Amino acid sequence: MTTSAIRRGARRMAAVLAMAPLVASADWDKLNLTRGVTPYSEEVYQLHMLILWVCVITGIGVFGAIFYSILKFRKSKGAVAAQWHENTLVEFLWTAVPAVILVVMAIPATKALVMMEDVAHSDMTIKVTGYQWRWRYDYINEGVFLYSGLARTSDVARQLNSGIDPKTVDNYLLEVDRELVLPVGRKIRFLTTASDVIHAWWVPALGWKRDAIPGYINESWALIKEPGVYRGQCAELCGKDHGFMPIVVRALPEAEYKAWLEKTKAEQAPKTADSASAPGVSVATAQ
């Protein structure tokens, strides 16, 4: 089994290497940061590309100078070493120019940060609570909540030597038993906290992650522009099953979201009364 796995791996490796020239064009989206589906994630993407290009251009300059020196100023080619070791103008320039570039980069970065921290005028609030090892979502003022943990199919397959090929499992490790359902087009405020250890709630398509810390309530926000299913994971080491507490957001158009909310309200209304001592347990197992 292992040798065939290695052979399979080697073939995949060969395929990856063969694709290398195409990487620049075809597969770029898989190699780069996601653009996401919120105004903030778009800002972050633009900022990421800006800094990336600044780094790439600087890198071409610096590494170009190094490789030029390696080729040109080598003893085997008869190069004679100069003895200069100072140049005030050059030193001033390579201190001042990077500083100016940093200031130019800091302006959009500051704008993006101010945008992220502005949680005012939100249309609704979701409280996210991290547990070892699942999430609880409370729809504030709606009386609706749900627990969300790793889907059964992934949980079986991820056991040590389960014998199940992860490739045969739909959305392996990125599927949950109950999705967080959200509306598109509304400014949603997220309150993140935790009940045991520190977790971090991260859906890349929203453009940010935020730590869920016991005793703290952190604020952030997202306005999802397009309906869809967006997947993420806990991003702060939280114990043995840290790798197994995914997040799935299903963003629905307003009408469908309202219908879902009413249906869930109706489901939860009687149950919360008789299971007050262990809230949520029946909901979490209800699928």
Partner 1 sequence: MSEAAAHHDAHHEHHATGMMRWLTTTNHKDIGTMYLIFSLIMFFIGGSMAMIIRLELFQPGLQFVNPQFFNSMTTMHALVMIFGAVMPAWTGFANWLVPLMIGAPDMALPRLNNWSFWILPFAFSLLLGTLFMPGGAPAGGWTMYPPLVLQTGEAFPFLIFAVHFMGASSIAGAINIIATVFNMRAPGMTLMKLPLFVWTWIITAFLLIASIPVLAGAVTMLLTDKFFGTSFFSAAGGGDPVMFQHIFWFFGHPEVYILILPAFGIASAIIPTFARKPLFGYSSMVYAAAAIAFLSFIVWAHHMFTVGMPLAGELFFMYATVLIAVPTGVKVFNWVATMWQGSMTFETPMLFAIAFVVLFTIGGFSGLMLGVTPVDFQYHDTYFVVAHFHYVLVTGAIYSLIAGTYFWLPKMTGHMYDEKLGKLHFWLSTISVNVLFFPQHFLGLAGMPRRIPDYAVQFADWNMVSSIGGFVFGASQLLFVIGIVKCIRGGEKATAQVWEGAHGLEWTLPSPAPYHTFSEPPPAASIEGGMR
CB of 261 to partner 1, least distance (A): 28
Out of 59, 143, 228, 253, the residue judged to bind partner 1 by CB under 8 A: 59
Out of 79, 140, 156, 269, the residue judged to bind partner 1 by CB under 8 A: 79
What's the Rg (C-alpha) of the chain? Answer: 25
Q: How many residues form the binding site for partner 1 (CB under 8 A)?
A: 101
Answer yes or no whether residue 55 interacts with partner 1 by CB under 8 A. yes
d(CA 232, CA 213): 18
CB of 241 to partner 1, least distance (A): 6
Note whether 177 and 150 are within 8 A (CB). Answer: yes
Answer yes or no whether residue 107 interacts with partner 1 by CB under 8 A. no
Contacts of 63 (CB under 8 A, 6+ apart): none
Out of 134, 151, 204, 222, the residue judged to bind partner 1 by CB under 8 A: 204
Site for partner 1 in 241-260 (CB under 8 A): 241-244
Q: Which two tokens stand for residue 209?
A: 């992650």
Note whether 50 and 105 are within 8 A (CB). Answer: yes
Answer yes or no whether residue 197 interacts with partner 1 by CB under 8 A. yes
CB of 140 to partner 1, least distance (A): 18
Q: Write the CA distances from 140 to 42, 107, 184, 191, 278, integer angstroms.
A: 27, 35, 17, 10, 19
- Beta pairing class for 187-194 and 124-131: parallel
Q: Which residue has the tokens 């999802």?
A: 224
Site for partner 1 in 124-163 (CB under 8 A): 157-162
d(CA 41, CA 286): 34
- Beta pairing class for 134-139 and 124-131: antiparallel
CB of 257 to partner 1, least distance (A): 25
Out of 35, 39, 42, 47, the residue judged to bind partner 1 by CB under 8 A: 47
- For 10, other C-beta atoms within 10 Å of its C-beta total 10
Per CB under 8 A, which region of 113-121, 178-186, 248-256, 268-276 contacts partner 1?
113-121
Per CB under 8 A, which region of 13-21, 122-130, 249-257, 265-273 contacts partner 1?
13-21
**Interaction pattern, residues 18-37, with partner 1; x per rule: CB under 8 A:** ------------xxxxx---
How far is C-alpha 167 from the geometric centre of its chain's CA atoms?
A: 22
CB of 146 to partner 1, least distance (A): 22
